[in-house]
Amino acid sequence: MESEKTVLITGASTGIGLATARALCGTGYRVILTARRSSLPRFAARGIEESVHVRIRPLDVTKPEERLAVLAEAERDWGGIDVLINNAGVSYRAVVEHVAEDERLAQMNVNFRSPMEMIRLVLPSMRAKRAGRILTISSVGGMMAMPTMAAYSASKFALEGAHEALWYEVRPWGIRVTLVQPGFVDSDGFQKVRYTAESDRSEHELAEPYHEHYVNMSPFIAKLMRMSMATPDSVARVVIKTIRRRRPPLRVPATMDARVFALLRRIVPRSMYHWLLYRMLPNVRTWGPSEERISLLPNRADDGER
């Protein structure tokens, strides 16, 4: 019975999380909508308010004390979490050389380490009930990597590996584990992409060796998102359908492109797949420090004269 189940979702104040939050509020579930404290006013602005079945709580997923507080309250009042939806995520745009250690940690903290901690904290109660659902929003970036998205892909690949192990581990208690994998979604998500100190500089400086990587990949990704038929609402529908399935599979591609990439990964030999993808990268032949291009830059010409 949905009315006796409690669902908690992270990062519910925008995008896929907000769309899922709206959809959840219309079901019979008891729902705990969470977001960073500074983002909480967005719920009221979107007409979402607390009720008997809906609670809105602050949760920065990277803060241990906030994780413990929201889960302790759920345990005390509603007997724990039955369905955990790990949605909160951020995305850095940078080539490997441009991600400093603290930036890599920031990416991994939100996208990998925090959802794994949430899982660790809800599992004892799920095991005691011999039931539970863990649904984490992964990405096509968790099945394939693209240039300038190394840190993001690493975080999603890490989620994929950990959830695969978890799927086997908790099956004896009837706990179902699912990775929902959206591809490109027509949302604000990639506009809110974060640049690292180095990638920000390189995108704007013509003489930087990786300049062409950024100026070609950024509009390419933006275009793929704009062209996508998938929206936060369509992904939210997949999420709701998945948590209602009796036996949800480990991986659920949530958009058409995700289904195509999943199929390609299965049927095309890996070396051919990488070669094909490389050839499809926008203007890839111009990437790297072409001597001709560098020689046309004013500062380099000045250097030569000195």
Ligand X SMILES: NC(=O)c1ccc[n+]([C@@H]2O[C@H](COP(=O)([O-])OP(=O)(O)OC[C@H]3O[C@@H](n4cnc5c(N)ncnc54)[C@H](OP(=O)(O)O)[C@@H]3O)[C@@H](O)[C@H]2O)c1
**Stretch of 31-39, 119-127, 169-177, 195-203 lying at the interface with ligand X (CB under 6 A):** 31-39
Q: What are the DSSP E strand ranges found in 107-185?
A: 132-137, 175-181
Q: What are the angstrom distances between the C-alpha of 114 and each of 17, 63, 120?
A: 16, 8, 10
Taking the complex as a whole, how short is the minimal distance between the CB of residue 296 and ligand X, in angstroms? 36
Asked if 10 interacts with ligand X (CB under 6 A), we say yes
Residues 5 and 24 sit within 8 Å (Cβ to Cβ): no
Q: Say whether 138 is catalytic.
A: yes
Binds ligand X by CB under 6 A, chosen from 27, 62, 125, 231: 62
Q: Say whether 129 is catalytic.
A: no
Q: What are the angstrom distances between the C-alpha of 298 and each of 96, 210, 293?
A: 28, 18, 11
Asked if 120 interacts with ligand X (CB under 6 A), we say no
Interface map 125-144 toward ligand X (x if CB under 6 A): ------------x-x-----
- Which residue has the CB atom at the shortest distance from ligand X? 15
Taking the complex as a whole, how short is the minimal distance between the CB of residue 188 and ligand X, in angstroms? 5
Residue 111's nearest CA partner among 132, 134, 92, 124 is 92
Taking the complex as a whole, how short is the minimal distance between the CB of residue 12 and ligand X, in angstroms? 6
Q: What are phi and psi of 290, to 5 degrees?
A: -65, 130
**Stretch of 11-19, 48-56, 244-252, 269-277 lying at the interface with ligand X (CB under 6 A):** 11-19
Taking the complex as a whole, how short is the minimal distance between the CB of residue 33 and ligand X, in angstroms? 10
Q: Which residues, numbered 174-193, are part of the site for ligand X (CB under 6 A)?
A: 182, 184-185, 187-190, 192
Q: Say whether 13 is catalytic.
A: yes
Q: CA-to-CA distance for 48 and 56, rounded, in angstroms?
A: 9
Handedness of CA 183, 188, 190, 196 (dihedral sign): negative
What angle do helix axes 197-204 and 211-227 make, rounded to 10 degrees?
A: 100
Asked if 153 interacts with ligand X (CB under 6 A), we say no
Interface map 202-241 toward ligand X (x if CB under 6 A): -----------------------x------x---------
Asked if 35 interacts with ligand X (CB under 6 A), we say yes
Binds ligand X by CB under 6 A, chosen from 29, 43, 55, 60: 60
Among residues 144 and 166, whose Cβ is nearest to ligand X?
A: 144
Q: Which residues, numbered 241-300, are part of the site for ligand X (CB under 6 A)?
A: none
What residues have CB less than 8 Å from 105, skipping those under 6 apart?
none
Helix/strand/coil for 134: strand
Q: What are the angstrom distances between the C-alpha of 93 and each of 113, 160, 293?
A: 19, 20, 24
With 0-12 / 13-18 / 19 or more C-beta atoms within 10 angstroms meaning exposed / middle / buried, residue 120 is: exposed
Asked if 89 interacts with ligand X (CB under 6 A), we say yes
Catalytic residues: 13, 138, 152, 156
Residues that bind ligand X (CB under 6 A): 10-11, 13-17, 35-36, 39, 59-62, 87-91, 110, 137, 139, 182, 184-185, 187-190, 192, 225, 232
